[in-house]
Amino acid sequence: MLEIRDLHAAVEGHEILRGIDLSVAAGEVHAIMGPNGSGKSTLAQVLAGRETFEVTRGEILFEGESLLDRSPEERAQLGIFLAFQYPVEIPGVQNLYFLRTAVNALRKARGEEELDPASFMRLVREKAKLVDLDEKLLKRAVNDGFSGGEKKRNEILQMAVLEPKLCILDETDSGLDIDALRTVARGVNALRSPERAMIVVTHYQRLLDYIEPDRVHVLSDGRIVRSGGKDLALELEKSGYGWIEGRAAGAGS
């Protein structure tokens, strides 16, 4: 489904991603781990088309087509969803209205009719239950004054409602207590399907106890330095990232 080849990306001339190769097939869950500052969020945002980052080399193919010339909304319309590490607040814009605008924008792009308000509400209520999101939050402004946990649940709610093909979760676990983590994982697992792929970015192995990955990749200094099965995550949990940093420094010298 997703094919990343020799991807380089820079911000203001400073190279952050330095040659990433990754391929993710439908039905798979890939975990991306790595120390802070290694480029995990950058990778997630480059996939989603954020123009802050300039792709200087390489290619990203989604279902066989290049994404590089596509705007963020076109990528979203193709079925790419990013759950943000820091969900953005939009004062004055009702959460429900935002979500409905998004649903209808995606439907329009697919040539479908707008969802009528009643069906939309039914859909949202059902998904809100799944992630245990207080319905009161639907009437509030997007993420405005939400707690950290509420913001993360709201991201998963959006993901559940928008039903993307490729879900990218950027540190969705950070800042969550164990109950919230379970709830979020339940929401994510409910979306696992043979047609859908997931990239789960995390700093800790904790989330992977609940969302079992098919593959684990370790990112360091803008490169994938190791890949393996789910055991790799456990190994990292024990040994920490120290060995990688040593290695990366060694590789650089």
Partner 1 sequence: MSDSDTRHVEQLASQEYKYGFVSDIDQELFSPGLDENTVRAISAKKGEPEWMLEWRLRAFRHWLTMEEPHWPKADYPPIDYQQIVYFAAPKSASERPKSLDEVDPELLAIYNKLGIPLQEQEVLAGVAVDAVLDSVSVATTFREKLSELGIIFCSMSEAIREHPELVRKYLGSVVPYTDNFFATLNSAVFSDGSFVYVPKGVRCPMELSTYFRINAANTGQFERTLIVADEGAYVSYLEGCTAPMRDENQLHAAVVELVALDEATIKYSTVQNWYPGDEQGRGGIYNFVTKRGKAHRKAKISWTQVETGSAITWKYPSCVLLGDESVGEFYSVALTSKRQQADTGTKMIHVGRNTRSTIISKGISALEGQNTYRGLVKVAPGAENARNFSQCDSMLIGDRCGAHTFPYIDVANPTAIVEHEATTSKIGEDQIFYCQQRGIPVEDAVSMIVSGFCKEVFQELPMEFAVEAQKLLGISLENSVG
Ranges of beta strands (E only) in the chain are 2-11, 14-24, 29-33, 54-62, 65-66, 80-83, 90-94, 141-142, 166-170, 197-201, 215-220, 223-228
Per CB under 8 A, contacts with partner 1 among 131-170 are: 138-139, 141, 158, 162
Phi and psi torsions of 123, nearest 5°: -60, -50
The smaller minimum CB distance to ligand ADP, of residues 85 and 143, is found at 85
Cα–Cα distance for residue pair 135/122, rounded to 1 Å:
12
Residues 6+ apart with CB under 8 A from 12: none
- Strand-pairing partners, residue 8, are 18, 57
Per CB under 5 A, contacts with Mg ion among 85-114 are: 85
Per CB under 8 A, contacts with partner 1 among 34-93 are: 48-52, 71-73, 75-77, 81-82, 84, 87-93
The smaller minimum CB distance to partner 1, of residues 93 and 234, is found at 93
10 interacts with partner 1 by CB under 8 A: no
Residues in the interface with partner 1 (CB under 8 A) total 38
Cα–Cα distance for residue pair 247/245, rounded to 1 Å:
5
Tokens found for residue 192: 């696992």
Of the ranges 31-39, 104-112, 204-212, 234-242, which one interacts with partner 1 (CB under 8 A)? 104-112
Binding region for partner 1 (CB under 8 A): 48-52, 71-73, 75-77, 81-82, 84, 87-94, 96-98, 100-102, 105-106, 109, 117, 120, 138-139, 141, 158, 162
Binding region for ligand ADP (CB under 6 A): 11, 16, 34, 36-42, 52
